């Protein structure tokens, strides 16, 4: 059975689809795309059925990432099938912990930037939605930096499963 990771932001049109796309690329580069699945969702359903924000898609394309995405809202029932739920900021972390049906499910939730040792105490990926294009570039840089550590943690988990 595949290890399942879901990235969660507010509306699932900026940060979480960017994180999903970057992480899928990292998985493919590492040869783990058959053993790990990645998807994304939003804490709210305002953008369900929409594609990624055009600015997010543009930044992803410019950096060679996939841009295919359709927004959806995170569902409580998903905890049962997910191994790791990655929040993009502390607001999402709190919202997801409130939704978690069990303590075991709450322990599956982590902040993305907690996987980036250079992040220090600032573990939020700022929402670029209300800003300019450079906010999306900054978001991508943060996501890329954290994805390396996330990949290492997931690889470690996979090796632990095989033991």
The candidate with the shortest Cα–Cα distance to 27, out of 4, 61, 58, is: 4
Element (H, E) at 163: none
Q: What is the pLDDT of residues 63-73, one digit of tens each?
A: 999 999 999 99
The active-site residue out of 83, 97, 127, 157 is 127
Is there a catalytic annotation at residue 9? yes
Could you say which of 15, 24, 55, 110 is catalytic?
15
Overall average pLDDT of the 81-104 stretch: 98
Known catalytic residue at 121: no
Q: Tell me the three state secondary structure of residue 111.
A: strand
Instruction: Judge whether 15 counts as a catalytic residue.
Output: yes
Superfamily of domain 3-162: Response regulator (3.40.50.2300)
Say yes or no to pLDDT of 1 above 90: no
Residue keyed to tokens 């600032």: 122
The C-alpha atoms of residue 29 and residue 41 are separated, in whole angstroms, by: 23
Q: Is the pLDDT of residue 161 over 70?
A: no
pLDDT tens figures, 13-53: 999 999 999 999 999 999 999 999 999 999 999 999 999 99
- 162 pLDDT tier (thresholds 50, 70, 90): low
From 6, 9, 14, 139, active-site residue: 9
98 pLDDT more than 70: yes
């Amino acid at each position: 059975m595949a290890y399942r990771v879901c990235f969660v932001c507010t509306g699932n049109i900026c940060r979480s689809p960017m994180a999903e796309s970057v992480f899928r690329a990292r998985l493919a580069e590492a040869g783990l795309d058959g053993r790990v699945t990645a998807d994304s969702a939003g804490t709210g359903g305002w953008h369900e059925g929409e594609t990624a924000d055009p600015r997010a898609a543009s930044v992803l394309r410019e950096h060679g990432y996939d841009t295919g995405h359709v927004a959806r809202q995170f569902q409580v029932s998903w905890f049962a099938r997910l191994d790791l739920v990655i929040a993009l900021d502390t607001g999402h972390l709190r919202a997801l912990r409130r939704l978690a049906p069990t303590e075991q499910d709450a322990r599956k939730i982590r902040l993305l930037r907690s996987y980036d040792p250079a992040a220090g105490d600032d573990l939020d990926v700022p929402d670029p939605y209300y800003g300019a294009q450079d906010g999306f570039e900054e978001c991508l840089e943060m996501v890329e930096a954290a994805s390396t550590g996330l990949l290492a943690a997931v690889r470690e988990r996979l090796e632990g499963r095989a033991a």
